[in-house]
Structure 1
């Protein structure tokens, strides 16, 4: 049975119950069914069919999940593209998916129209409920822009013709940061979709009586896949918000009578940073589910907001390694039975801290498991089961292969390399340590260092640029820092120009917080950049004579780091 059939069972049970809430808008289960039927029938009449790909580029809105539900009814694959992407990353994401068209909003179309000209789409489809314009119009190119809000009321709300169901057919593509510098489209097949959806429903215990507050981006797996299926498959009501707001968070929870919410660690820190208010405990929230809540904030968060049940988990969009902390063990991101560890695909391996590669036994050539209490590289053993499959990336064989390790525990086996460093204690609780490779996490987003390097090289017309993440005291994640080798033969680097270009080409979370200008990029004997050296020195101006600048959070301009500013950053007086 596919998820559409399960959803339709819930439509029969909860017909007039709210399925999705967004501001003052309400979509009941019946409304979602009819809306998605209308859109499916319209797109079918437009000639789209089973196996086609349509790129979905929308900010959080109540229509967002309805779109990919409608596409599933036709067997069309939705490419859930980050609505913040611009320039090359956006073009690459659309090309990778092989999208035949784009569904977006009128506002976003104005911002991405230049990129869309690369594709010569015959039609682009937009949502624009407030427009008084015609049903369709011409863009600056020959592409026709169709307003779906004008078209859908004319379409039949009856179910479209049933399609053959296959567990191996993709529901959608969700993008992750790629070490090649551009987003990779992870394949989420029906098999994985059902596994993830039911897994989280069972682990969290969310049911039809719950009202879930979901402020996470709907193009990400947690907010846009798992957070949505709590309603589609679990019968719960899910509340969306365009963007997370710390000042309105608890007001919304009270307004909508939410019983739980989804989080990333940064979200929790932002809530703790707000002034105390009666709203802190005047809500009905009984538990929270997410990942990245720091150990030193966990108890404080639980006590202040009276949330005793915090269910941290570990998972990644394409990974087959996942676990849940269902008993609110402080600081733990999950649990695996020490009695029957083979029930899980999870393995921790000894690794070289310099190369971040697994350490192998000299005689057998196989990897070596890490010890209890020892930092280990987390991998998921790949096996021919739904639970332990790795479905790879769209049109990216090399990217898929780079995530796999061969001959792990025995000759001929393989594992998915998460790139994350984890510790497990003697009871089987896991604790997140760090992320390896060329990505770091900032503002709840995975940032690709290579992607930023490539864009900055294009902007500055320089080749010696290094990007990495650095830790800031009392701040979640790692802030982006770039080291730029000054070109002595050209004019000095214009920071004002760089600021403007960074705002144009990079999403807000991907913009470097620190810039270091240097005369020479240090290399190893094998001509690799000594990135770990720069990461270690970070923005510490006492360890280098290089100029270091920081992105002033108040002025949004780069400003020279002085001794006074350096101390204020480390003391938490300047917050990012």
Structure 2
């Protein structure tokens, strides 16, 4: 008999194959569709996963009893790998176990110190050295909040903060003159009842006690936990001074809860216990302390500690110590790119650079010259309650806007009047949100999840950072003071600081953009751009304090052609001031206050001054006669 297929199977086969074909086509088309129309969806999903993992870990730690703090995480790491190097400093390695024991000795020596009790606030006026870390851990074991004093602050700020004890080291660097700074205000400190300890074995100055000798002689027995039983998540952990680029520095309060969240900074960016982290930024500042020091405690990594940043020694240090993770902030990347090129520029093990403030063109140049290093740019501030991470790697962006992050930390950009130096408000008194692609002031809602603690003993400055009635009556937001922009792809970009952006000829001028243009010229190395007032004129006109490249000369005609080619008329710096060096903070942020005050007055400024002259198509010397003509109105700007 001849075999024939069953009718039911013959009819069923085509629909089944058709269905399978549709399923297969769909599986193949979905990734293509997502990549074409939603190119960042997988990165967003991975970010959501990491964010949720961090939140789960944070919540579980918050629920632990007794209360779990950063110190407890360090003790876990000490137990897990006691002999592993925690700090490497000037060819000396200090293990997790040694660090723990040395901090115990320091804490026991402090307990024996008259005038100090566990829980008292202590100020550290020290540079980047292991003793800084040993002392901080010791004070954490004693439940004492710590004020991390910036090397650059002097008498007024040293006296401003109320502490029971001041630890400092005069051997940090001769240029810092810390010993002289303390001795200048020593009588006032003693009158306030402050005990002053010098990290040395001998001290001949009356009123200052040596301390290193006492630490050497102290017991290394562990400190009982009850000494810090008074500490809660709301207790201050450290006071970190803001950089003070626009005025006197303020002490931002970082409580124990915020310090606990800081543990996740490095681990959330893929740093593990096998990584070696190069810390050359100041430990008194957020970057060095929270990201470098505290972040490494979470990951159990090894820290290569450097006294201060050195562009010429940077890569040799990385090679010598097999560094895998580096930090950057402000101008660090540009300083590295400005060093002479070497054949072994790509001969290192660095795989990750984490920080903020890198410009787009420097980002490209850095990767091109030093190899395929992953750059994790982020946005945050010491006292702020919102942050972003550029997890997608978009060059120039500080982060990416997404639903979950915005739900947890409600924020928005609002229109800002740079001339009035205040947010734009509608007829109802509410702020006006910025449109996509429009520059606006970043504000973040103050909530239990995203609190704003404020500044120590400075309620006036704390209140200035609070913004009320933003999107609805009665709401409360944190005023970041930063102007940002969100593009159509939901990437967010830093534009400028409020106060740095100025208004001229009815147009807003972003100082960072003008600075970027000036520094890509043939002869200018650095440029600090700011606005100065001119009698008889509305707003502020552009001025730049610049340095000239080594071996080059300032060419007014070439600079004129350069700025005319790149900048609209209202954004072109009208005045240029030639300096030997651009003054910066300890974290390489440009100082502007003094420059703005001195303005363009040749009678007050010894540096060479130039003024843009459209008739001459050049920057020409700014003489006293020209200055008088501007003030009298005979010369129009």
Q: TM class by shorter-chain length?
A: 0.7 to 0.9
Q: Residue 119 of structure 1 corresponds to which residue in structure 2?
A: 189
State whether structure 2 residue 476 is matched by structure 1 residue 414: yes
Kindly state the Cα deviation for residue 377 of structure 1 after the two structures are TM-superposed: 0.3
CA RMSD of aligned residues (A): 3.2
Name the CA shift for 1:18/1:523 in 2 (closer, same or farther; >3 Å): farther
Which SS does the other structure have where 1:535 is aligned?
strand
Name the CA shift for 1:204/1:182 in 2 (closer, same or farther; >3 Å): same
Kindly state the Cα deviation for residue 333 of structure 1 after the two structures are TM-superposed: 0.6
Name the CA shift for 1:567/1:253 in 2 (closer, same or farther; >3 Å): farther
Partner deviation per Cα, 1:94-148 (whole Å, 9 max, x = no partner): 33330122111134443312133321256421223xxxxxx55442xx41321x2
- Aligned pair partner of 1:561 in 604, 609, 612: 609
CA distance in 2, matches of 1:405, 1:376: 14
Which SS does the other structure have where 2:107 is aligned?
helix
- Aligned pair partner of 1:321 in 383, 386, 394: 386
CA distance in 1, matches of 2:294, 2:240: 15
Kindly state the Cα deviation for residue 340 of structure 1 after the two structures are TM-superposed: 6.4
Which SS does the other structure have where 1:152 is aligned?
helix
Query: Which structure is richer in relative contact order (CA contacts within 8 A, separation 6 or more)?
Result: 1
CA distance in 2, matches of 1:23, 1:72: 25
Partner deviation per Cα, 1:191-235 (whole Å, 9 max, x = no partner): 01111222x134312111110111111111011222101322220
Kindly state the Cα deviation for residue 80 of structure 1 after the two structures are TM-superposed: 0.6
| Farther-moved stretch of structure 1 (321-330 vs 414-423) | 321-330
Name the CA shift for 1:562/1:477 in 2 (closer, same or farther; >3 Å): closer
| Farther-moved stretch of structure 1 (231-240 vs 392-401) | 231-240
Partner deviation per Cα, 1:498-556 (whole Å, 9 max, x = no partner): xxxxxxxxxxxxxxxxxxxxxx96378xxxxx6x5243587899999x997532349xx
- Aligned pair partner of 1:471 in 515, 534, 539: 515
Using the size of structure 2 for normalisation, the TM-score is 0.69
Q: Residue 46 of structure 1 corresponds to which residue in structure 2?
A: 113
CA distance in 1, matches of 2:437, 2:246: 33
Name the CA shift for 1:568/1:236 in 2 (closer, same or farther; >3 Å): farther
Whether the aligned pair in 2 keeps the contact of 1:212 and 1:236 (CA below 8 Å) is yes
| Farther-moved stretch of structure 1 (371-380 vs 60-69) | 60-69
CA distance in 2, matches of 1:407, 1:50: 42
CA distance in 2, matches of 1:19, 1:248: 21
Q: Residue 271 of structure 2 corresponds to which residue in structure 1?
A: 206
- Aligned pair partner of 1:384 in 437, 443, 448: 448
Q: Residue 110 of structure 1 corresponds to which residue in structure 2?
A: 179
Name the CA shift for 1:34/1:563 in 2 (closer, same or farther; >3 Å): same
Which SS does the other structure have where 1:56 is aligned?
strand
CA distance in 1, matches of 2:341, 2:244: 40
Whether the aligned pair in 1 keeps the contact of 2:446 and 2:452 (CA below 8 Å) is yes
Name the CA shift for 1:477/1:157 in 2 (closer, same or farther; >3 Å): farther
Name the CA shift for 1:390/1:316 in 2 (closer, same or farther; >3 Å): same
Q: Residue 137 of structure 2 corresponds to which residue in structure 1?
A: 69
Show the 5 A alignment for 1:279-428: 279-338=344-403, 341-362=406-427, 364-385=428-449, 388-428=450-490
Q: Residue 146 of structure 2 corresponds to which residue in structure 1?
A: 78
Kindly state the Cα deviation for residue 309 of structure 1 after the two structures are TM-superposed: 1.1
Q: Residue 158 of structure 1 corresponds to which residue in structure 2?
A: 221
CA distance in 2, matches of 1:39, 1:216: 24
Return the structure number with greater helix share.
2
Whether the aligned pair in 1 keeps the contact of 2:86 and 2:303 (CA below 8 Å) is yes
Q: Residue 628 of structure 2 corresponds to which residue in structure 1?
A: none
CA distance in 1, matches of 2:184, 2:530: 29
Which SS does the other structure have where 2:423 is aligned?
coil
Whether the aligned pair in 2 keeps the contact of 1:188 and 1:318 (CA below 8 Å) is yes
Instruction: Flag the structure with larger Rg.
Output: 2
Q: Residue 578 of structure 2 corresponds to which residue in structure 1?
A: 550
Which SS does the other structure have where 2:188 is aligned?
coil
Name the CA shift for 1:322/1:418 in 2 (closer, same or farther; >3 Å): same
Kindly state the Cα deviation for residue 568 of structure 1 after the two structures are TM-superposed: 12
Gaps of 5+ in 2: 1-67, 172-176, 503-510, 547-555, 561-568, 583-604, 613-617, 622-637
CA distance in 1, matches of 2:437, 2:298: 38
- Aligned pair partner of 1:167 in 209, 222, 233: 233
Which SS does the other structure have where 1:119 is aligned?
helix
Q: Residue 259 of structure 2 corresponds to which residue in structure 1?
A: 193
CA distance in 2, matches of 1:10, 1:550: 51
State whether structure 2 residue 96 is matched by structure 1 residue 29: yes
